[in-house]
Each structure stands twice: as C-alpha cells, then as structure tokens.
Amino acid sequence: MTDKPRKPARPSRPSRGAPTSKTPAARAKAPAGGKTPPQRKAPAPAAPPARERRAAVPAATEPAAGERLQKALASAGHGSRREIEAWIAAGRVTVDGRRAELGRRIKGSEKVCLDGNPLEIARSESPPRVLVLHKPLDIVCTRHDPEGRPTVFSLLPAAAHERWVMVGRLDVNTSGLLLFTDWGELANRLMHPRYEVEREYAVRVYGTVDEESLELLCRGVESEGEKLAFDRLVPGAGAGMNRWYQCVLHMGRNRAVRRAFEAVGVQVSRLIRTRFGSVSLPRDLEPGEHRELAAAELAKLARQVGLEVPAAPIPRHRGRN
C-alpha cells in the first residue's frame, strides 16, 4: 500500500506571551494585536516666516529713494495730502504712463499726470507764502464748482508761479478767516488732527442755551456717530432768543459747530471763523479781501506745527490756480 504524501505542517501559532522572532525594535513599534501600523507620511517642511516670504518677492521697479508721491504733489501745491491720496486710490494719477499706487516714490524727473494732464513740479526761488482771506457768505470753497457759483479761488490774486492750497474749508453759509498757502507741508500739518490746531468762531444762535447745555457742549455731544466737543465756550453779546458765543475747538470736522448746537436743540443763525491757530481775522479786512502774512507771522504759524520756514527754495507748481 502506497503511502500518501503528507501535507506540510502548518506553522504553529505562538501562544500568548511567547517570544517571537521580531527584533526588540520591531516589537516596540508593533501595536497591540500584532497588526502593522500604517506608514505615516513625512511631515512637510515648515513654511518660511512671513518676513522671509516677503523678501522672496521681487522688489517693485519704482525707485526706493526719493519722496512719496502724495507728499511731493502736496508740496508742489496741487492739493492737500489727503486729497491727493484719494486721487491715487481712485487711479487718477499716473507716473511715466503707469497707474500710481500709494507709497510710490518719485525723484522729480518722472512724468506725473492727473487724469492725463501733466503736473509739472519745479522749484521757485521765492519763500513760501500764506494768504489770509475774509470769506464772504454765499461763496463756495472749491476750485471749480459744477453749478457755476463763485468760488474762493476767484478772490485770490493771480499766481504766475504758485498754486494755492486751501487750508480747511468753510461751508457756503459761513464767513470769516480762510488760509491759503503754496507750502504743501504746512497746509497738511495745519489740517492734520494730530497737531490739534485751534479754530475759533463767533456764533449767533436762535434759541435758549442754559448752563446745563453749555456744560454738555464742552463735555461732548453725539452727532451723526461722532463726538463733538468745544475746548472753550464763552457767552457773548445779545439777549433773549438771539445770543452770540465765542467757541474754540481743535477739530476740522464737517459742520462741527452747527451740528453741536443742533444736538442741544438750538439753531445757528450766523457763524464766523475769527481765528485759525495763531492767525486772527484782521478787523480792517473786509469780506472778499485778502492779505499776505508777514515773515514773522508765517514763522509763528509754522512753528505751531513743528516746521521752520525753509531758507532754501521749496518745491512749487508752475501754472495757473
């Protein structure tokens, strides 16, 4: 009888707790139950810090040296720095045919245009100037009025080498002191809230302002989401329902004086600006007339905002107002 071939013996399963042929390192890695753990992917290399990533971006082609575009144009008398920044943000300013961006610097040799019109920047040998205008009623504070109304610039002298920059503005129903200069940096600082330049007004109100309302106006009232407060508020002439007040504030917000009095229930019937910083409205200056500040007056005004009148020529715009 022929012997049948035997099947190979099945390897015996190790009993629990019995040693295995795996190395100690393998046993340490093996989880309970003997299953092989899934292979983990190697961690991706950490991204470089943001500062290094920014450094890897190619530098802009615009020059690193030079003066910021908005500051150069303001110094040249084309407008206030805030106004020019709005032009740049709206894409109205180009440098050498390319749309400018905020932070762009120029050296003075570039071709700068506003709405396609060249803005020439030159240097004048004359010192900076400041004009004091007694603004009449019903005159608008703009360079060009679409409704054809008379503007404050029509009251200024023709300038062969300068372009006047208006320091702040007064609404059409407000009269009094208004400053103009061809020194853009001075205009920018006089209007900037950081320097807290005082504005003083003579105000005639229709209505009764009691002591509680006077105290509230100095502490601050809410109007259109803003807090408005006078630094000083002194009753003046008049009696009954029409009374004059002298008020001082250091903010240049739109219609701030009128809105503050409206917040306590009275109406401003007359408003005259009598002082801006160290410059007061001359008593002998008639509405519509202007005069130029003397050198000492200009130096005093400039020192209020941390400036010294430059001895060397400053950038100016050559062209019409």
- Whether pLDDT at 319 is above 50: no
- Exactly one of 96, 115, 171, 210 is catalytic; which is it? 171
- Alpha helix positions (H), the chain: 24-29, 50-56, 69-75, 81-89, 184-191, 211-219, 256-263, 295-304
pLDDT in tens, 150-193: 999 999 987 544 578 899 899 999 999 999 998 888 998 999 99
pTM flag (> 0.75): no
Q: With cut-offs at 50, 70 and 90, classify the pLDDT of residue 127.
A: confident
Which tokens belong to 151?
């503007």
Superfamily per CATH, domain 67-119: RNA-binding S4 domain (3.10.290.10)
Between CA 77 and CA 95 the distance in angstroms is: 18
Tell me how crowded residue 76 is: count the other CB atoms within 10 A of its CB: 28
Common-topology check for domains 67-119 and 130-194+279-317 = no
Between CA 298 and CA 302 the distance in angstroms is: 6
Between CA 238 and CA 245 the distance in angstroms is: 9
Helix (H, G, I), strand (E, B) or coil at 105: strand
Task: Give the residue carrying structure tokens 């009449």.
Answer: 136
DSSP assigned state of 169: -
- 281 or 321, higher pLDDT: 281
For β-strands 175-181 and 267-276, DSSP reports them as parallel
- Whether pLDDT at 123 is above 70: no
Q: Which CATH number fits domain 198-276: 3.50.50.60, 3.40.50.1820, 3.30.2350.10, 3.90.870.10?
A: 3.30.2350.10
* Residue 96 is among the residues annotated as catalytic for this protein: no
**38 burial via Cβ count (<10 Å: 0-12, 13-18, 19+):** exposed
Q: Which CATH number fits domain 130-194+279-317: 3.40.470.10, 3.30.1330.60, 3.30.420.40, 3.30.2350.10?
A: 3.30.2350.10
- Alpha carbons within 13 angstroms on the beta-carbon side of residue 163 total 22
Domain regions of the chain by residue span: 67-119, 130-194+279-317, 198-276
Between CA 248 and CA 151 the distance in angstroms is: 26
Specify the pLDDT at position 8.
Answer: 55
Beta bridge partners of 268: 205
pLDDT in tens, 183-219: 888 998 999 999 999 999 999 999 888 999 999 999 9
**Range in 67-76, 88-97, 147-156, 299-308 with the lowest mean pLDDT:** 67-76
Q: What are phi and psi of 43, to 5 degrees?
A: -65, 140
